[in-house]
Amino acid sequence: MGGLALLAKRLGYTVSGSDQHVYPPMSTQLESHGIELKNGYDPSNLEPRPDLVAIGNALSRGNPEIEAILNRRLPYVSGPQWLSDHLLKDRWVLAVAGTHGKTTASSMAAWILEDAGLEPGFLIGGIPMNFGVSARLGQAPYFVIEADEYDTAFFDKRSKFVHYRPRTLVLNNLEFDHADIFPDLAAIQRQFHHLVRITPGNGLIIAPQADANLAEVLAMGCWTPVVRTGIAPEQTDCEWQARLESADGSRFDVLYQGRKQGTVVWPLTGRHNVSNALPALAATHHAGVAIKPAIDALSRFQSVKRRMELYATVNGITLYDDFAHHPTAIASTLEGLRNRVGRERIIAIFEPRSNTMRLGVHADTLAASLRSADAAIVYQADDLDWDAGGLAEHAANIRIEHSLEAILAWLTTHAREGDHLVLMSNGSFGGLHRRLEQALRSR
């Protein structure tokens, strides 16, 4: 919704918005573009009367502003529908869907197009460091969008991505998530198939060769050409392949139809980022970018804020800020760091903050996802609906803490020169990054 606000501002609208507990980098980005932020929800925020209210999917009946909008009969629309009506209908949309990696793969695709001089528009759920903003109008025809399967609004329970009209569709991966709105994996697969159904026959679908859940989606019916991606030597029957030249994924060859096209050398780590790069290359190739310049562009890709972002280095201790919130992403991120730093000590600090995590859906797999860390702290917040204490019974490297103060105390006592501290949360983590940096500096 923050990115949508930026796009509306660029289209010439006067834009303001309400949210709860807004935090950087989105809050600072909006303020820097002259978009008024109102903290909290109150009917007075709707004065003077707006011409239109775009409503995000986090709000539901009972919210004071939602009730005021309905009672006053103000015109309203969902964010995705507004985007479809005002912008996407005239664009070549490159949409990136999947459980993991949407933000990063979208950012890669947008950067490849930008590096090729095509000035794409984009709307991404993070801030690509190559651009410094999460959204821009760009020049026609290309528009890259992160295509989320979460529901659209309280009055439209379809997935957001059915509004996006993709011509080039990336299906990055598919696992069970969003347990607060989907009862099982099959329900998510049906939504993904709705997205497949609206992709035109002269478009392209890009999917990983080894993802059984996506294979089942495509088996429901597909009317669009499909190309496959994979990492050699495990996956061979695919048009686009990566062949790792370094264990941490910082260097890999790109093969197209069995022939080496070039080598990506970049600061990113992890097989997950290699897997994100392949569909970005395939999608931009479909849009007309030559392969070798696209590979060169990826070598200049600077990642996304809060995706294993180097936050600070204090007395030889390295702090990272990472958005990972699903066991698969946590495991891949930590494995990539392990392959880079070797035997140096890794300490992971994780906040189970997403709706799915708070419900305890991933409790059985969370402990295993943290095993690449020498030590892992899991934050048992008051609003967690399950007892994280059981994790420590399954993994000797895990400890449970019930307050940010206790986490700070343990880290400032035990962290030492050469350590890598990875703070993992899809929220602000109570400002723990800043507080930890300050505590280590004053230790």
CATH of the domain at 352: 3.90.190.20
Residue 234 lies inside a defined structural domain of this protein? yes
- Quote the CA–CA distance of 378 and 361 in Å, as a whole number: 15
Q: Would you call 291 exposed, middle or buried from its count of C-beta atoms within 10 A (0-12, 13-18, 19+)?
A: middle
pLDDT number for residue 22: 78
My answer on whether 147 and 16 are in the same domain is no
pLDDT number for residue 211: 94
pLDDT number for residue 383: 81
My answer on whether 72 and 97 are in the same domain is no
pLDDT tens for residues 286-331?
999 999 999 999 999 998 888 888 999 999 999 999 987 788 889 9
Sign of the C-alpha dihedral computed for residues 353, 357, 363 and 369 taken in this order: negative
Rounded to two decimals, the pTM is 0.86
My answer on whether 122 and 209 are in the same domain is yes
My answer on whether 125 and 200 are in the same domain is yes
**Segments forming the whole domain that contains residue 65:** 2-77
Residue 397 lies inside a defined structural domain of this protein? yes
- Quote the CA–CA distance of 430 and 442 in Å, as a whole number: 20
pLDDT number for residue 180: 83
Low-confidence residues of the chain, pLDDT below 70?
none
- Give kind and range of the element (H or E) at residue 285: helix 271-286
Alpha-carbon Rg for the chain in angstroms = 22
pLDDT number for residue 23: 75
My answer on whether 411 and 333 are in the same domain is yes
pLDDT number for residue 245: 95
Strand partners for 317: 314
Strand partners for 153: 156
- Quote the CA–CA distance of 108 and 304 in Å, as a whole number: 9
CATH of the domain at 147: 3.40.1190.10
Quote the longest CA-to-CA distance of the chain: 62
My answer on whether 36 and 91 are in the same domain is no
- Quote the CA–CA distance of 125 and 147 in Å, as a whole number: 9
Strand partners for 350: 378, 424
Q: Would you call 310 exposed, middle or buried from its count of C-beta atoms within 10 A (0-12, 13-18, 19+)?
A: exposed
- For the chain, the domain total comes to 3
Phi-psi map region of 40: left, alpha, beta (phi>0 left; psi -120 to 50 alpha): left
Residue 303 lies inside a defined structural domain of this protein? no
Tally of CB atoms within 10 A around 416 = 10
pLDDT number for residue 384: 83
pLDDT number for residue 255: 97
